Amino acid sequence: MRFKTYIVVYASLSGSKVNRKKIYASIAVVIVATITIVILYSYFSQSSRSTYPDHEVPSPLEKNIIYAYRDAITGIDPSIEDDTGIIVLHLVYETLLRYDPIRNEYQYVLAREIDRVDENTWRIVLRDAQFHDGSPVTAYDVNFSIWRSKLMYEEKGLGLGYIWDCLDEIDVVDNKTLYITTLYSCDIRVSLAAAYSAFIYSRRILELSKADDMLSEKLTEWFNSGNSLGSGPYRLERYEPENIVVLRKFENWWGWREINNPDAPDIVIIKIVEDPGSQERMLRTGHIDIASSVPRGSLNSLEKDGYKIHVVDTFHNFIMMFNTKRWPTNITEFRKAIVYAIPWNRIVEQALMGYGRKGSGLIPYGFPGYSKKWELNQDLEKARELLERVRLLDKKIDLEIVITQGYEEEEVFAKMLKEALSTLGINLLIKPLPWQQVKQQGEAVWSDPESAPHIIINDWWPTYMVPYDYFSLLECLEPEEGVYNYWNWAGYCNKEFDELLYEAYYTSLQDIDKSLSLYEKVLEIVFEDTPAVNLWDMQHIYVYDPRHVVIRYEAINPLYTYTIFFQYVEVKL
């Protein structure tokens, strides 16, 4: 419960007649009211101990909000984090631009002006902004941040710094002006607005972390120990990646002057709640304000009880990947047989309860390159023919599928697949694991493929608005040189695929429309080899009490997955 505290001040005007009895009575009323407030506050503070650490119970005058997210935070190094840390990073740090894919427009963030000087040169002027330590955001900090992201990827294989592939030089003119020169014609705005590896932070972190250079591991250790130095609307107060993240409003954020939201939360608490049922219970009992993953079967009941069901189309899809290095999923016909056994037309209805779309190719609905032509249908007869061709029909084969624990849509799908495969003499063992262990199982395909599962589901969302992002899951890189793509959980290697993907990628950086025919050829190879298949495109469902919370349009953007830009959220006391 949230309180408003009222303070009553009694004063006698000079020369006025004083009624002592009335004053004593008034004092008594104030004392009783004060005691009542203290008792009530003490009671409700005690009831909130499971949510707030002792030293972080918000003042009743502060507007606070609690957001339940279902996965542990995997890291908060703004240059190399490539997963769930996104929901924290976009509040603590800022990019130069943000892209709205619904309105198809760029929005200025730390940049005030961006002009294309010529084919390969961009001029950027920064707005007046400051970091959380009060120091100004300068072009030197932008230069440092971009180069660290690029080099951490190129020299250490960490992060998603490939978004800076077309970068050649950065020329800092003064504190507020810089020029970016590209190696070839490319739209640098796509990179400046990326969801990952485009964050700007203070170069003072070298001093604070006692690191010798920008590639030092000390920097990542410093960040992931709960430190930060960004310019975003919220600053980091507490970081326990498997439990809780606490953020406090940065009063000197430049944006408060522009967005006109006096009801923005003073404190944002991100609570890790893996179980959807627990999210629902905590929402109903007031222990959280926004749930990101309640059971879909409870949505009608929640709506009847007055909760707002906020459904958002996203670029978040669920890709089933086959272990191409382990028998029998190393056999193309066997993989295709499994794909044809999938009850495609029942997935959205049963696993997602209507909140999503049937997968088509690897690219999700609404993203550049999406096409319905790649949709599949269940064909058990075709599946039997393929198994017969490789003499594996009715051979009582045991397969293992790894799914993410607490993801009800994956659990339902896995049971559907198990039932379908049983008609082909295939037994499917379903193995739910926490997300971090799922990642470890997927990566094992490179070190010990026999210990890696035959099938694994990887949910994926974009780094930036380039189709390459989704195909990069199957990029081989150079394993013979010790360079692995640890997101390629299929262990898939195809030189023709890689070469065509590179061509499509570099074309898309110059002109997305011209690249789409190339991506279609890449998809034809995927369809033919079947190392992976997109099962569904996800709709995100946020549930909250509209009497206490208002989520503006700008607060949720499908490019920045699961991020809520809380500066655009209103908290009603």
Which pLDDT belongs to residue 60?
Answer: 64
pLDDT tens readout for residues 409-427: 999 999 999 999 999 999 9
- Kindly report, residue by residue over 351-408, the tens digit of the pLDDT: 999 999 999 999 999 999 999 999 999 999 999 999 999 999 989 999 999 999 999 9
In the predicted structure, residue 565 carries a pLDDT above the cut 80: yes
pLDDT digit string (tens) for 207-226? 999 999 999 999 999 999 99
Domains 68-307+545-571 and 316-539 share a fold: no
pLDDT in tens, 76-92: 999 999 999 999 999 99
Report percent pLDDT > 90 for the chain.
Answer: 87
Does residue 9 have a pLDDT over 90?
Answer: no
User: Model pTM?
Assistant: 0.87
User: What is the CATH class of 68-307+545-571?
Assistant: alpha beta
Q: Which fold has domain 316-539?
A: Dipeptide-binding Protein; domain 3 (3.10.105)
Under DSSP, the state recorded for 347 is I
Domain segments of the chain as ranges: 1-47, 68-307+545-571, 316-539
Nearest-angstrom CA–CA distance, 102 and 185: 25
Residue 309 to residue 304: CA distance in whole angstroms: 10
Split at pLDDT 50, 70, 90, the class of 37 is very low
Task: Find the range with the poorest average confidence among 56-70, 142-156, 343-357, 371-385.
Answer: 56-70
**Structure tokens belonging to residue 509:** 């950086």
pLDDT for 444 equals 98
Q: What is the mean pLDDT of residues 532-553?
A: 98
Could you write out the DSSP letters of every residue in 2-58? Answer: ----------PPTTPPP-HHHHHHHHHHHHHHHHHHHHHHHHHHHHTTTTS-GGGPP
Quickly state the pLDDT bin for 57 (edges 50, 70, 90). Answer: low
Question: Rounded to an integer, what distance in angstroms lies between the CA atom of residue 48 and that of residue 498?
Answer: 53
Asked if residue 283 lies in contact with residue 68, where contact means CB atoms within 8 angstroms, the answer is: yes
Quote the CA–CA distance of 194 and 271 in Å, as a whole number: 25
Instruction: Give the mean model confidence (pLDDT) for residues 91-115.
Output: 98
